[in-house]
Amino acid sequence: PNRLPGNATHQVGVAGAVLDEVSGKVLVVQDRNKTVNAWKFPGGLSDPGEDIGATAVREVFEETGIKSEFQSLLSIRQQHKHPGAFGKSDMYIICRLKPLSYNINFCSQECLRCEWMDLKELAYTSNTTPITSRIAKLLFYGYREGFHNIDLTVRTFPAVYSGLFYSLYHKELPATYETPE
């Protein structure tokens, strides 16, 4: 029987694109037991109650040993799984992170390889997944022409009914729109 309570229809995963703006290099991994030579961003599933940015930072550290901090949200991917799997779908979110350490110490159970790779190289290599390639191009665009072109920034709001807080991600709103002219 379908034991899903209420409407928890999605698992949520988060990947971190950790870009060192000084060198122009980005942190990439190759998974064990998957397609050979496919470079991708480290990441994994959210723990219950965990914020998107916190998942990205935790997963990057667990897989690669690199410490980082959340900068922005770049992209959302939705995929629907086979109807047999409780109709479960997944939402995968890619964040832009800033490195706080540089020495790789990767988890050999999860990763086959882990490197700092030139962002432009990742954007145009064939040794990657279609989505990693797309996001690498987007990140390269932001790196060249300003991250404001690609970033969704976060802001926290009080919820009206519950007293809890929301995190809201969208393109930066110019200050002139905060109040009526």
Q: Which of residues 45-84 bind a copy of itself (CB under 8 A)?
A: 45-46, 48-52, 73-81, 83
Polymer length of the chain? 181
Tell me, residue by residue from 131 to 160, as one string, x for binding to a copy of itself by CB under 8 A and - for no binding. x--xx-xx-xx-------xx-x--x-xxxx
Strand segments, DSSP code E, in the chain are 10-20, 25-31, 43-45, 68-80, 89-99, 111-118, 153-158, 165-170
DSSP class of 7: T
Q: Does 169 bind a copy of itself (CB under 8 A)?
A: yes
Catalytic residue among 50, 59, 62, 172: 62
62 counts as catalytic:
yes
- Residues numbered 6 to 45 that lie near a copy of itself (CB under 8 A) are 6-12, 34-35, 38, 45
Chain-centroid distance of CA 16 in Å reads 4
On whether the CB atoms of residues 39 and 117 are closer than 8 A, the answer is yes
Closest approach of Cβ 168 to a copy of itself, in Å?
A: 5
Tell me, residue by residue from 83 to 112, as one string, x for binding to a copy of itself by CB under 8 A and - for no binding. x-xxxxx-x-x-------------------
Sign of the C-alpha dihedral computed for residues 80, 82, 83 and 89 taken in this order: negative
Quick one: tokens of 133? 């390639």
Closest approach of Cβ 89 to a copy of itself, in Å?
A: 6
Give me the active site residues, please: 62
